[in-house]
């Protein structure tokens, strides 16, 4: 994708990263937060924020790429190709939960979803998760293509909500996601 810009080093890179990290925190809590709240959280002036991101849309696009990069890095660091598939899947669930609800925000933000090129780019990088899920999946042949992958991300969304709204501890969320992925959530009575 032509817009991908890695975070540069030095003071300029640190400031840009501070703004993106602040945006992750602020927008995860309040998706309509003004840029002034993000600038305050980043401990920079609003004019500084605008030097890096002239418009809100510029910040949101950069944030989407930043979160995508963090997600892919976390997946790689979880070493999904190592060990038994279920243990690897658990590590990936844990690392994605650590990113928090900003992942959901990025993938549902209208600025992102209305940009076909950006959306297509963001839909890459989790192929290893799809591979892992296919190894452990018991999904019925009637399930649509990509169903396990969609369920994975939906369960992470539920996990973010449980942690934020209910204060459920991370280990319980991970256990619930793993049980849902491997056993389902509803047992039919025969």
Residue 30 inside a domain? The answer is no
| The pLDDT of residue 4 is above 60 | no
Q: Give the tens place of pLDDT for each residue, 129-174.
A: 888 887 776 656 677 877 888 889 899 999 988 988 888 999 999 9
| The pLDDT of residue 62 is above 60 | yes
Q: How confident is the model at residue 183 (pLDDT cuts 50, 70, 90)?
A: confident
| 3-state percent breakdown (helix, strand, coil) of the chain, nearest 5 | 70, 0, 30
Residue 88 inside a domain? The answer is yes
Residue 38 inside a domain? The answer is no
Rounded to whole angstroms, what are the CA distances from 84 to 53, 87, 179?
44, 5, 16
More confident residue, 53 or 184: 53
Residue 15 inside a domain? The answer is no
Q: Indicate the number of domains in the chain.
A: 1
Predicted local distance difference test score (pLDDT) of residue 3: 45
Predicted local distance difference test score (pLDDT) of residue 39: 97
| Structure token pair of residue 77 | 């660091």
DSSP 8-state assignment for residue 34? -
* pTM score, whole prediction: 0.83
Predicted local distance difference test score (pLDDT) of residue 186: 65
Predicted local distance difference test score (pLDDT) of residue 23: 97
Residue 95 inside a domain? The answer is yes
Residue 14 inside a domain? The answer is no
Alpha-carbon distance of 31 to 25, in angstroms, equals 10
Residue linked to tokens 């799809």: 130
Residue 7 inside a domain? The answer is no
Domain extent for 61? 57-183
Predicted local distance difference test score (pLDDT) of residue 125: 83
* CATH number of the domain bearing residue 167: 1.10.357.10
| The pLDDT of residue 188 is above 60 | no
Q: What is the mean pLDDT of residues 29-41?
A: 95
């Amino acid at each position: 994708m032509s817009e991908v810009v890695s975070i540069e080093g030095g003071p300029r890179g640190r400031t840009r990263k501070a703004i993106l990290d602040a945006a992750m925190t602020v927008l995860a809590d309040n998706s309509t937060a003004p840029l002034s709240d993000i600038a305050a959280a980043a401990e920079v002036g609003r004019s500084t924020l605008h030097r890096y991101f002239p418009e809100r849309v510029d910040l949101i696009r950069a944030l989407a790429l930043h979160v995508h990069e963090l997600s892919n890095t976390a997946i790689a660091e979880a070493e999904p190709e190592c060990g038994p598939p279920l243990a690897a899947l658990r590590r990936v669930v844990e690392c994605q939960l650590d990113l928090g609800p900003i992942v959901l925000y990025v993938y549902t933000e209208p600025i992102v979803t209305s940009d076909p090129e950006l959306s297509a780019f963001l839909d890459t990088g989790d192929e290893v998760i799809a591979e892992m899920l296919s190894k452990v999946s018991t999904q019925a042949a009637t399930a649509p293509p990509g169903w396990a992958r969609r369920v994975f991300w939906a369960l992470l969304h539920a996990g973010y909500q449980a942690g934020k709204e209910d204060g459920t501890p991370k280990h319980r969320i991970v256990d619930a996601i793993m049980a849902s992925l491997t056993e389902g959530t509803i047992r039919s009575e025969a």
